[in-house]
Amino acid sequence: MRLSSSLCARPGHGLKMKEIRVGLIGCGNIGGFHCRVLEEVENAKLVAVADPNAALTSALEQKYGCRAFGDYKDMLAWGEVDLVSVCLPPALHFEAVEAAAKAGIHVLVEKPLDVSPQSADRMIAVCQNAGVKLGAVSQHRFDPAIRALSDLINRGALGRLMMGTVHVIWYRDPAYYETGGGWRGLKANQGGVLMSQATHYIDLLQYLMGGVDSVSAVCETLLHNIEAEDTGLALLRFKNGAIGSIEATTMAYPGLMAELNIYAENATICVRNDSLAFYESKTGKIAELDALLAQKREVEAAVADPLALDTAGHRAQYLDMISAIFEDRDPVLDGAQGRQPLALIDAIHRASEQGTWIKVD
Protein backbone atom coordinates (compact mmCIF):
# COMPACT_ATOMS: atom_id res chain seq x y z
CA MET A 1 0.00 0.00 0.00
CA ARG A 2 1.27 3.46 -0.86
CA LEU A 3 1.31 5.80 2.14
CA SER A 4 2.13 9.44 1.70
CA SER A 5 4.92 10.89 3.78
CA SER A 6 2.26 12.96 5.54
CA LEU A 7 1.00 9.77 7.20
CA CYS A 8 4.31 9.05 8.90
CA ALA A 9 3.69 11.70 11.54
CA ARG A 10 1.65 9.96 14.22
CA PRO A 11 -0.10 11.58 17.18
CA GLY A 12 1.65 10.92 20.44
CA HIS A 13 5.09 10.85 18.80
CA GLY A 14 5.76 14.50 19.53
CA LEU A 15 5.11 15.39 15.89
CA LYS A 16 2.28 17.53 14.63
CA MET A 17 -0.33 15.31 13.01
CA LYS A 18 -0.36 16.13 9.30
CA GLU A 19 -3.31 16.32 6.99
CA ILE A 20 -5.00 13.50 5.17
CA ARG A 21 -5.45 14.50 1.54
CA VAL A 22 -9.00 13.72 0.45
CA GLY A 23 -10.26 13.18 -3.09
CA LEU A 24 -13.97 13.19 -3.85
CA ILE A 25 -15.47 10.83 -6.44
CA GLY A 26 -18.90 12.11 -7.49
CA CYS A 27 -19.79 15.79 -7.03
CA GLY A 28 -23.60 15.70 -6.97
CA ASN A 29 -25.84 16.36 -3.97
CA ILE A 30 -23.92 14.54 -1.28
CA GLY A 31 -20.54 15.18 -2.92
CA GLY A 32 -21.03 18.94 -2.57
CA PHE A 33 -22.10 18.36 1.04
CA HIS A 34 -18.89 16.39 1.74
CA CYS A 35 -16.88 19.41 0.52
CA ARG A 36 -18.65 21.58 3.10
CA VAL A 37 -18.11 18.98 5.83
CA LEU A 38 -14.40 18.67 5.04
CA GLU A 39 -13.95 22.38 5.74
CA GLU A 40 -14.89 21.54 9.35
CA VAL A 41 -12.61 18.51 9.72
CA GLU A 42 -9.24 18.93 11.36
CA ASN A 43 -6.36 17.08 9.71
CA ALA A 44 -8.18 16.71 6.39
CA LYS A 45 -7.84 18.71 3.21
CA LEU A 46 -9.93 18.37 0.09
CA VAL A 47 -7.29 18.20 -2.65
CA ALA A 48 -9.25 16.92 -5.65
CA VAL A 49 -12.72 16.26 -7.01
CA ALA A 50 -13.73 13.97 -9.87
CA ASP A 51 -16.94 13.91 -11.88
CA PRO A 52 -17.69 13.80 -15.63
CA ASN A 53 -19.89 16.87 -15.07
CA ALA A 54 -17.33 19.66 -15.65
CA ALA A 55 -19.68 22.40 -14.43
CA LEU A 56 -19.79 20.71 -11.02
CA THR A 57 -16.05 20.07 -10.74
CA SER A 58 -14.98 23.53 -11.88
CA ALA A 59 -17.35 25.19 -9.39
CA LEU A 60 -15.81 23.10 -6.58
CA GLU A 61 -12.29 23.71 -7.91
CA GLN A 62 -12.87 27.46 -7.67
CA LYS A 63 -14.59 27.36 -4.31
CA TYR A 64 -12.17 25.03 -2.51
CA GLY A 65 -8.92 25.49 -4.45
CA CYS A 66 -8.69 21.79 -5.27
CA ARG A 67 -7.84 19.98 -8.52
CA ALA A 68 -10.65 18.92 -10.83
CA PHE A 69 -10.69 15.64 -12.76
CA GLY A 70 -13.22 14.37 -15.29
CA ASP A 71 -12.23 10.74 -14.74
CA TYR A 72 -11.59 9.51 -11.22
CA LYS A 73 -9.00 7.03 -12.50
CA ASP A 74 -6.79 10.01 -13.39
CA MET A 75 -7.23 11.34 -9.86
CA LEU A 76 -6.23 7.96 -8.39
CA ALA A 77 -3.16 7.83 -10.68
CA TRP A 78 -2.20 11.41 -9.71
CA GLY A 79 -0.63 10.06 -6.49
CA GLU A 80 -1.54 13.00 -4.22
CA VAL A 81 -4.59 11.49 -2.49
CA ASP A 82 -4.60 9.44 0.75
CA LEU A 83 -8.34 8.89 1.11
CA VAL A 84 -11.19 8.98 -1.41
CA SER A 85 -14.84 9.52 -0.59
CA VAL A 86 -17.14 7.66 -2.96
CA CYS A 87 -20.29 9.73 -3.53
CA LEU A 88 -21.56 8.00 -6.67
CA PRO A 89 -24.89 6.34 -7.42
CA PRO A 90 -24.81 3.01 -5.54
CA ALA A 91 -24.36 0.72 -8.56
CA LEU A 92 -21.04 2.50 -9.26
CA HIS A 93 -19.62 2.14 -5.73
CA PHE A 94 -17.91 -1.22 -6.18
CA GLU A 95 -15.90 -0.28 -9.28
CA ALA A 96 -14.64 2.95 -7.71
CA VAL A 97 -13.72 1.27 -4.42
CA GLU A 98 -11.86 -1.48 -6.24
CA ALA A 99 -9.90 1.05 -8.34
CA ALA A 100 -8.98 3.09 -5.24
CA ALA A 101 -7.97 -0.01 -3.26
CA LYS A 102 -5.77 -1.21 -6.10
CA ALA A 103 -4.10 2.22 -6.09
CA GLY A 104 -3.45 1.81 -2.33
CA ILE A 105 -5.86 4.59 -1.34
CA HIS A 106 -8.18 4.37 1.69
CA VAL A 107 -11.91 4.61 0.98
CA LEU A 108 -14.95 6.10 2.66
CA VAL A 109 -18.15 5.03 0.87
CA GLU A 110 -21.52 6.76 1.03
CA LYS A 111 -24.51 4.64 1.95
CA PRO A 112 -25.45 2.09 0.81
CA LEU A 113 -22.02 0.49 0.92
CA ASP A 114 -22.93 -1.54 -2.17
CA VAL A 115 -26.01 -2.89 -3.92
CA SER A 116 -26.13 -6.38 -2.39
CA PRO A 117 -24.61 -8.21 0.59
CA GLN A 118 -22.72 -10.44 -1.85
CA SER A 119 -21.16 -7.49 -3.65
CA ALA A 120 -20.35 -5.90 -0.27
CA ASP A 121 -18.47 -9.08 0.66
CA ARG A 122 -16.36 -8.73 -2.49
CA MET A 123 -15.74 -5.05 -1.71
CA ILE A 124 -14.59 -5.89 1.83
CA ALA A 125 -12.26 -8.58 0.48
CA VAL A 126 -10.78 -6.25 -2.16
CA CYS A 127 -9.93 -3.65 0.51
CA GLN A 128 -8.55 -6.24 2.92
CA ASN A 129 -6.33 -7.72 0.21
CA ALA A 130 -5.05 -4.26 -0.75
CA GLY A 131 -4.43 -3.31 2.91
CA VAL A 132 -6.57 -0.16 2.74
CA LYS A 133 -9.19 1.02 5.24
CA LEU A 134 -12.83 0.77 4.18
CA GLY A 135 -15.30 3.08 5.93
CA ALA A 136 -19.08 2.93 5.43
CA VAL A 137 -21.11 6.11 5.95
CA SER A 138 -23.99 5.85 8.41
CA GLN A 139 -23.64 9.25 9.99
CA HIS A 140 -26.52 8.99 12.45
CA ARG A 141 -24.61 6.36 14.43
CA PHE A 142 -22.60 9.36 15.69
CA ASP A 143 -25.66 11.36 16.81
CA PRO A 144 -25.46 12.19 20.54
CA ALA A 145 -28.80 10.46 21.28
CA ILE A 146 -27.65 7.25 19.57
CA ARG A 147 -24.28 7.26 21.34
CA ALA A 148 -26.04 7.72 24.69
CA LEU A 149 -28.56 4.97 23.98
CA SER A 150 -25.90 2.54 22.83
CA ASP A 151 -23.92 3.19 25.99
CA LEU A 152 -26.98 2.72 28.25
CA ILE A 153 -27.93 -0.53 26.48
CA ASN A 154 -24.37 -1.89 26.68
CA ARG A 155 -24.28 -1.12 30.43
CA GLY A 156 -27.59 -2.94 30.91
CA ALA A 157 -29.15 0.25 32.33
CA LEU A 158 -32.36 -0.15 30.32
CA GLY A 159 -32.88 -3.81 31.23
CA ARG A 160 -34.06 -6.36 28.67
CA LEU A 161 -34.88 -4.96 25.23
CA MET A 162 -38.40 -6.03 24.28
CA MET A 163 -39.39 -4.14 21.12
CA GLY A 164 -37.90 -1.64 18.68
CA THR A 165 -39.79 0.27 15.99
CA VAL A 166 -38.87 2.64 13.18
CA HIS A 167 -41.19 5.03 11.35
CA VAL A 168 -39.70 6.92 8.42
CA ILE A 169 -42.72 8.79 7.10
CA TRP A 170 -41.29 11.04 4.43
CA TYR A 171 -42.34 12.70 1.21
CA ARG A 172 -40.35 13.06 -1.96
CA ASP A 173 -41.69 15.17 -4.78
CA PRO A 174 -42.06 13.02 -7.94
CA ALA A 175 -39.46 15.31 -9.61
CA TYR A 176 -36.86 14.05 -7.10
CA TYR A 177 -36.80 10.71 -8.87
CA GLU A 178 -36.01 12.39 -12.22
CA THR A 179 -32.85 14.08 -10.92
CA GLY A 180 -29.31 12.70 -11.06
CA GLY A 181 -29.82 11.18 -14.52
CA GLY A 182 -32.67 8.93 -13.36
CA TRP A 183 -30.74 6.48 -11.13
CA ARG A 184 -33.03 7.12 -8.16
CA GLY A 185 -35.86 4.62 -7.84
CA LEU A 186 -34.06 1.87 -9.79
CA LYS A 187 -33.74 -1.54 -8.13
CA ALA A 188 -30.19 -1.88 -9.50
CA ASN A 189 -29.26 1.16 -7.39
CA GLN A 190 -31.18 -0.01 -4.30
CA GLY A 191 -33.40 2.98 -5.02
CA GLY A 192 -36.37 1.94 -2.89
CA VAL A 193 -37.37 3.81 0.26
CA LEU A 194 -35.90 1.18 2.55
CA MET A 195 -32.35 1.61 1.30
CA SER A 196 -32.42 5.15 -0.09
CA GLN A 197 -34.20 6.97 2.71
CA ALA A 198 -34.96 4.68 5.69
CA THR A 199 -31.59 2.93 5.77
CA HIS A 200 -30.25 5.29 8.45
CA TYR A 201 -33.00 4.48 10.96
CA ILE A 202 -33.04 0.81 9.94
CA ASP A 203 -29.31 0.68 10.62
CA LEU A 204 -29.79 2.36 14.01
CA LEU A 205 -32.57 -0.09 14.92
CA GLN A 206 -30.51 -3.20 14.18
CA TYR A 207 -27.42 -1.65 15.78
CA LEU A 208 -29.14 -0.76 19.06
CA MET A 209 -31.38 -3.84 19.30
CA GLY A 210 -28.51 -6.23 18.61
CA GLY A 211 -29.11 -7.76 15.18
CA VAL A 212 -32.12 -9.15 13.33
CA ASP A 213 -32.75 -12.88 13.02
CA SER A 214 -35.68 -12.96 10.57
CA VAL A 215 -38.24 -10.74 8.83
CA SER A 216 -41.61 -10.75 7.11
CA ALA A 217 -42.61 -7.82 4.95
CA VAL A 218 -44.83 -6.10 2.41
CA CYS A 219 -43.18 -3.70 -0.04
CA GLU A 220 -45.27 -1.74 -2.55
CA THR A 221 -44.91 1.12 -5.02
CA LEU A 222 -47.98 3.16 -4.10
CA LEU A 223 -47.40 6.67 -5.47
CA HIS A 224 -44.23 7.23 -7.40
CA ASN A 225 -43.52 6.13 -10.94
CA ILE A 226 -40.46 4.10 -9.94
CA GLU A 227 -39.33 0.50 -10.23
CA ALA A 228 -38.39 0.00 -6.55
CA GLU A 229 -40.71 0.25 -3.53
CA ASP A 230 -41.81 3.67 -2.25
CA THR A 231 -43.37 2.05 0.83
CA GLY A 232 -42.22 -0.85 2.98
CA LEU A 233 -43.60 -2.48 6.11
CA ALA A 234 -41.66 -5.16 7.95
CA LEU A 235 -41.99 -7.26 11.10
CA LEU A 236 -38.74 -8.27 12.76
CA ARG A 237 -37.56 -10.94 15.16
CA PHE A 238 -34.29 -9.90 16.77
CA LYS A 239 -31.58 -12.38 17.75
CA ASN A 240 -32.10 -11.55 21.45
CA GLY A 241 -35.80 -12.54 21.37
CA ALA A 242 -37.14 -8.98 21.04
CA ILE A 243 -39.57 -8.08 18.25
CA GLY A 244 -39.87 -4.97 16.11
CA SER A 245 -41.26 -3.26 13.06
CA ILE A 246 -40.33 -0.88 10.27
CA GLU A 247 -42.69 1.51 8.47
CA ALA A 248 -41.06 3.48 5.68
CA THR A 249 -42.47 5.58 2.88
CA THR A 250 -41.74 8.51 0.58
CA MET A 251 -45.42 8.97 -0.39
CA ALA A 252 -46.68 10.65 2.82
CA TYR A 253 -47.24 14.32 1.97
CA PRO A 254 -45.79 16.63 3.26
CA GLY A 255 -43.30 14.36 5.11
CA LEU A 256 -43.76 13.85 8.84
CA MET A 257 -40.84 12.36 10.72
CA ALA A 258 -38.15 9.79 11.18
CA GLU A 259 -38.63 8.07 14.52
CA LEU A 260 -36.99 5.27 16.46
CA ASN A 261 -38.63 3.81 19.57
CA ILE A 262 -36.97 1.44 22.00
CA TYR A 263 -39.21 -0.35 24.50
CA ALA A 264 -37.06 -1.87 27.24
CA GLU A 265 -37.85 -3.48 30.58
CA ASN A 266 -36.89 -0.32 32.50
CA ALA A 267 -37.60 2.49 30.04
CA THR A 268 -39.27 3.67 26.84
CA ILE A 269 -37.20 5.94 24.64
CA CYS A 270 -38.08 7.90 21.51
CA VAL A 271 -35.61 9.48 19.07
CA ARG A 272 -37.35 11.73 16.55
CA ASN A 273 -35.72 13.57 13.64
CA ASP A 274 -32.24 12.71 14.94
CA SER A 275 -32.71 14.03 18.51
CA LEU A 276 -33.94 12.49 21.73
CA ALA A 277 -37.66 13.36 21.86
CA PHE A 278 -38.57 11.85 25.23
CA TYR A 279 -37.94 9.02 27.65
CA GLU A 280 -39.81 7.54 30.58
CA SER A 281 -37.97 5.35 33.08
CA LYS A 282 -39.30 3.04 35.81
CA THR A 283 -36.01 3.27 37.65
CA GLY A 284 -35.64 7.02 38.05
CA LYS A 285 -33.94 9.78 36.08
CA ILE A 286 -31.27 8.93 33.52
CA ALA A 287 -28.71 11.74 33.71
CA GLU A 288 -27.34 11.29 30.15
CA LEU A 289 -30.81 11.52 28.66
CA ASP A 290 -31.80 14.51 30.78
CA ALA A 291 -28.66 16.29 29.55
CA LEU A 292 -29.66 15.61 25.94
CA LEU A 293 -33.21 16.85 26.50
CA ALA A 294 -31.84 19.99 28.15
CA GLN A 295 -29.62 20.72 25.14
CA LYS A 296 -32.67 20.73 22.84
CA ARG A 297 -30.41 19.96 19.92
CA GLU A 298 -31.90 21.59 16.84
CA VAL A 299 -31.15 19.65 13.66
CA GLU A 300 -32.27 19.88 10.11
CA ALA A 301 -34.48 16.95 9.14
CA ALA A 302 -34.72 15.43 5.67
CA VAL A 303 -38.43 14.58 5.94
CA ALA A 304 -39.19 16.41 2.69
CA ASP A 305 -35.85 17.83 1.52
CA PRO A 306 -33.02 15.39 0.73
CA LEU A 307 -30.45 18.14 1.24
CA ALA A 308 -31.59 19.12 4.73
CA LEU A 309 -28.60 17.50 6.42
CA ASP A 310 -26.69 18.41 9.56
CA THR A 311 -22.89 18.35 9.06
CA ALA A 312 -22.15 16.97 12.56
CA GLY A 313 -22.64 13.29 11.69
CA HIS A 314 -20.44 13.29 8.60
CA ARG A 315 -17.84 15.35 10.44
CA ALA A 316 -17.69 12.73 13.22
CA GLN A 317 -17.48 10.00 10.60
CA TYR A 318 -14.50 11.72 8.91
CA LEU A 319 -12.76 12.27 12.24
CA ASP A 320 -13.06 8.57 13.04
CA MET A 321 -11.90 7.54 9.55
CA ILE A 322 -8.86 9.80 9.79
CA SER A 323 -7.99 8.55 13.28
CA ALA A 324 -8.33 4.98 11.98
CA ILE A 325 -5.76 5.75 9.27
CA PHE A 326 -3.32 7.38 11.69
CA GLU A 327 -3.78 4.69 14.34
CA ASP A 328 -3.79 1.85 11.79
CA ARG A 329 -7.08 0.39 13.03
CA ASP A 330 -10.45 -0.27 11.41
CA PRO A 331 -12.90 2.63 11.37
CA VAL A 332 -15.81 2.25 13.80
CA LEU A 333 -18.07 1.85 10.78
CA ASP A 334 -16.09 -0.60 8.69
CA GLY A 335 -17.22 -2.74 5.75
CA ALA A 336 -18.84 -5.36 8.00
CA GLN A 337 -20.94 -2.64 9.69
CA GLY A 338 -21.90 -1.18 6.30
CA ARG A 339 -23.02 -4.63 5.13
CA GLN A 340 -25.54 -5.05 7.98
CA PRO A 341 -28.36 -2.80 6.69
CA LEU A 342 -27.81 -4.22 3.19
CA ALA A 343 -28.33 -7.76 4.46
CA LEU A 344 -31.41 -6.77 6.45
CA ILE A 345 -33.04 -4.82 3.60
CA ASP A 346 -32.19 -7.60 1.14
CA ALA A 347 -34.04 -10.04 3.44
CA ILE A 348 -37.02 -7.64 3.68
CA HIS A 349 -37.24 -7.46 -0.13
CA ARG A 350 -37.13 -11.25 -0.41
CA ALA A 351 -39.70 -11.70 2.38
CA SER A 352 -42.09 -9.40 0.53
CA GLU A 353 -41.55 -11.17 -2.81
CA GLN A 354 -41.93 -14.66 -1.32
CA GLY A 355 -44.66 -13.87 1.23
CA THR A 356 -42.84 -15.70 3.98
CA TRP A 357 -40.45 -15.17 6.89
CA ILE A 358 -36.82 -14.90 5.74
CA LYS A 359 -33.64 -15.34 7.81
CA VAL A 360 -31.23 -12.41 7.61
CA ASP A 361 -27.92 -13.48 6.13
Ligand X SMILES: NC(=O)c1ccc[n+]([C@@H]2O[C@H](COP(=O)([O-])OP(=O)(O)OC[C@H]3O[C@@H](n4cnc5c(N)ncnc54)[C@H](O)[C@@H]3O)[C@@H](O)[C@H]2O)c1
Of 10-18, 48-56, 229-237, 263-271, which part binds ligand X (CB under 6 A)? 48-56
Closer residue to ligand X in complex, CB, 52/211: 52
* H/E segment holding residue 164: strand 161-169
Check binding of 23 to ligand X (CB under 6 A).
no
- Separation of alpha carbons 70 and 190, rounded Å: 25
Query: Least separation, in Å, of the C-beta of 273 and ligand X?
Result: 14
Which position among 139, 216, 275, 340 is part of the footprint of ligand X (CB under 6 A)?
139
Closer residue to ligand X in complex, CB, 19/229: 229
Check binding of 89 to ligand X (CB under 6 A).
yes
* Helix 117-130, helix 335-354: angle, nearest 10: 160
Check binding of 30 to ligand X (CB under 6 A).
yes
Binding letters toward ligand X, positions 91-110, x by CB under 6 A: -x-----------------x
Name the nearest CA neighbour of 229 among 181, 273, 184, 259.
184
Please name the amino acid found at residue 323. S
Query: Least separation, in Å, of the C-beta of 67 and ligand X?
Result: 14
The DSSP result for 77-110, as a single string, is HHS--SEEEE-S-GGGHHHHHHHHHHTT-EEEEP
Check binding of 303 to ligand X (CB under 6 A).
no
Closer residue to ligand X in complex, CB, 76/264: 76
* H/E segment holding residue 216: strand 212-220
Of 21-29, 267-275, 284-292, 320-328, which part binds ligand X (CB under 6 A)? 21-29
Query: What single-letter DSSP state applies at residue 360?
Result: -
Of 50-58, 59-67, 237-245, 286-294, which part binds ligand X (CB under 6 A)? 50-58
Q: Tell me the residue number closest to ligand X, measured at CB.
A: 28
Closer residue to ligand X in complex, CB, 28/210: 28
Residue count, binding to ligand X (CB under 6 A): 26
- Separation of alpha carbons 260 and 276, rounded Å: 9
Within 147-186, the residues that bind ligand X by CB under 6 A are: 180
Check binding of 87 to ligand X (CB under 6 A).
yes
CB distance 106 to 83 below 8 Å? yes
For the chain, state the CA radius of gyration.
20
Tell me whether strands 212-220 and 358-359 are parallel, antiparallel or unpaired: antiparallel
- Separation of alpha carbons 36 and 14, rounded Å: 30
Closer residue to ligand X in complex, CB, 53/116: 53
Of 85-93, 167-175, 276-284, 338-346, which part binds ligand X (CB under 6 A)? 85-93
Check binding of 27 to ligand X (CB under 6 A).
yes
Query: Least separation, in Å, of the C-beta of 287 and ligand X?
Result: 30
Instruction: Give residues with Cβ within 8 angstroms of 210, minimum separation 6.
Output: 161, 238, 239, 240, 242
Name the nearest CA neighbour of 83 among 4, 21, 127.
21
- Separation of alpha carbons 201 and 211, rounded Å: 14
- Separation of alpha carbons 220 and 249, rounded Å: 10
Of 51-59, 143-151, 257-265, 340-348, which part binds ligand X (CB under 6 A)? 51-59
Binding letters toward ligand X, positions 191-210, x by CB under 6 A: -----x--------------
CB distance 352 to 233 below 8 Å? no
Q: Which residues bind ligand X (CB under 6 A)?
A: 25-31, 50-53, 56, 72, 87-90, 92, 110-111, 137, 139, 180, 196, 306, 309
